[in-house]
Structure 1
């Protein structure tokens, strides 16, 4: 393993990575601002040989779907290996390779030679993140499922915070804050603010945990969502009402509100979502993503025709009028504003460029949703 090394280029910066020096690399990745506390006279330690443990002794399975993200997957796995649980608990990390072509499988196989808790599950063809997560759950051994994307880097204490929350409240969903960063090593935002950093989504796969039996009972991720967007929030709508007594259909809406699955926000379970600075090639890609988001939004509403879902997918006249006004009745569109956005990006004014392009993207999503519903 001394010769096993990887070189990645992220944001124009070359990062060299050697598995031999993984422990030193992990120590310098983040400044630890949160440490899990255990009972007196106990020490949190790793159980690297978790493959030899009995199946029912695994506490957590971390599901990480990935597709051609080997650069960020290195940092995602490094952060997950830093996690600590009490001595009598263990966890596994299942990387679901959705038919990547960038050497993802090679990286995970080499990683597994040093750290057996990391497992590779490679799919024969690309079927989207929902299908990949379902496959990871089927192969998992843990009682608690924690979902993390391959471009998400978690802080020390992340898994312990989710594990502790579910130990105190059985049969719940837990989510944590997600901070967006444009550089891998950025960790400046330590102060949590409820009004900006608390997730409003019932279930978001960038940072969420649910017990395995509840996930299976809810029906897993819907395979119909094969394009970009909404598969995690659609699952969240089904997770709201999962009961053991089979009385789901006979209950009134008032009774459902009283008995729905509780959702807890765990602010110690911190995750950083890496979003690199925009490039010119990302503009067209983002427009296509918004069109797909609109199409999947229509599918989402057809499966759950509620007012809450209408607000999520912007299927209201308020949203349509809002983006029409902000776009100056169509004057600001993807063709007219693109040269200005490119100029702002050249001047490194990414915030202003992102704001202008967001108006274009949101209006496209809203129009696709309205037109798709009519069809």
Structure 2
């Protein structure tokens, strides 16, 4: 392998428990090259900064930087700015990497120029032992560029323009950068041996308001995505098509199947240890919220700023 220095860039916001697992997994790499772990704390209030400042011996590769809460895009750009490595590996702060992950990324990138690697991600809600989950079909991703587990040369990231700071809420900043990389002729290298386990808490009814808010944010950011790249492909990605509107409108009976009407069956499944099935059912109204939000946000933006292409219902 080449001997470039690697910089692992991790934005984090109020995720201390899983962040510690993430960082320990990065200290446990069998990587022969020099690397650093850049943690950008995006204004956490859960003691993240204090913990890392008092546990420096436990995380010798970690370099901590702080900024006010401005979202993942700006945090990642900040991480790249302060990184000293030639290769940037983006890792989410709720991802636990297997020991050979960095080595797998490096081997896949060796000899490549306009390319980036995309490691395999397995979703899990097992906090105590996240790496115990098997890979399933629901873990398959068709995303061209996603920041959970991907590596790219720093100079190419900078030349592409980095993450767009207009994406201040949840969603699409990585795929939007992916559109620019694709237009530049980049090749994606799937890297299944660069394995990471993405932890998320088991679905509960207490999570519903937060999930609804996330979907509304995703819709609003989707409208920004489409304004920047007004193509049919982007419309399909953000679900701003008549097909998605009809599908989720039909499945939710125009919003009649929502967090209130479905609460009894969702709680029934949760009580019987079927939180994943409950979440899949909840996606009926979660997707409906997202579709409504993207259309509302695009309509509002169109009223204030003319665009070259108008949306159709």
2:5 maps to which residue? 59
Say if 1:186 and 1:68 are closer, same or farther in 2 by CA, change over 3 A.
closer
CA–CA distance in structure 2, aligned partners of residues 99 and 330 of structure 1: 35
CA–CA distance in structure 2, aligned partners of residues 348 and 189 of structure 1: 16
3-state SS, counterpart of residue 110 of structure 2: helix
Kept after mapping to 1: 8 A contact 2:203/2:278 = no
Give the counterpart of 1:97 among 41, 48, 51: 41
1:121 maps to which residue? 65
Give the counterpart of 2:131 among 151, 172, 187: 187
CA–CA distance in structure 1, aligned partners of residues 5 and 196 of structure 2: 20
CA–CA distance in structure 2, aligned partners of residues 201 and 139 of structure 1: 27
3-state SS, counterpart of residue 183 of structure 2: coil
CA–CA distance in structure 2, aligned partners of residues 175 and 305 of structure 1: 26
Is residue 2:116 matched to residue 1:173?
A: yes
3-state SS, counterpart of residue 21 of structure 2: helix
1:89-108 alpha-carbon deviations (Å, 9 max, x no partner): 21000111111121111222
Q: What's the TM-score, normalizing by structure 2?
A: 0.90
2:179 maps to which residue? 237
How many angstroms does 1:114 deviate by? 4.5
How many angstroms does 1:199 deviate by? 2.5
Is residue 2:306 matched to residue 1:372?
A: no
1:251 maps to which residue? none
Aligned positions, number: 299
CA–CA distance in structure 2, aligned partners of residues 273 and 219 of structure 1: 27
Kept after mapping to 2: 8 A contact 1:344/1:350 = yes
1:323 maps to which residue? 248
Give the counterpart of 2:20 among 65, 70, 74: 74
Is residue 2:56 matched to residue 1:112?
A: yes
CA–CA distance in structure 2, aligned partners of residues 272 and 138 of structure 1: 27
Kept after mapping to 2: 8 A contact 1:59/1:142 = yes
1:338 maps to which residue? 263
Say if 1:77 and 1:212 are closer, same or farther in 2 by CA, change over 3 A.
same
3-state SS, counterpart of residue 96 of structure 2: strand
Kept after mapping to 2: 8 A contact 1:58/1:92 = no
CA–CA distance in structure 1, aligned partners of residues 140 and 287 of structure 2: 22
1:210-247 alpha-carbon deviations (Å, 9 max, x no partner): 110011011111111111111111111112233xxxxx
CA–CA distance in structure 1, aligned partners of residues 120 and 252 of structure 2: 31
Is residue 2:85 matched to residue 1:85?
A: no
Is residue 2:96 matched to residue 1:150?
A: no
> Which sections of structure 1, spanning at least 5 residues, go unmatched?
1-37, 39-56, 243-259
2:220 maps to which residue? 295
How many angstroms does 1:189 deviate by? 4.5
Kept after mapping to 1: 8 A contact 2:123/2:139 = no
How many angstroms does 1:169 deviate by? 1.4
CA–CA distance in structure 2, aligned partners of residues 286 and 115 of structure 1: 32
Is residue 2:232 matched to residue 1:307?
A: yes
CA–CA distance in structure 2, aligned partners of residues 352 and 213 of structure 1: 43
CA–CA distance in structure 2, aligned partners of residues 150 and 351 of structure 1: 22
1:271 maps to which residue? 196
Deviates more, 1:90-99 or 1:338-347: 338-347
How many angstroms does 1:197 deviate by? 4.0
CA–CA distance in structure 2, aligned partners of residues 102 and 367 of structure 1: 33
Kept after mapping to 1: 8 A contact 2:203/2:276 = no
How many angstroms does 1:301 deviate by? 0.3
Q: What's the TM-score, normalizing by structure 1?
A: 0.75
CA–CA distance in structure 1, aligned partners of residues 93 and 51 of structure 2: 13
Larger Rg: 1
Is residue 2:80 matched to residue 1:137?
A: yes
CA–CA distance in structure 2, aligned partners of residues 325 and 334 of structure 1: 16
Kept after mapping to 1: 8 A contact 2:255/2:285 = no
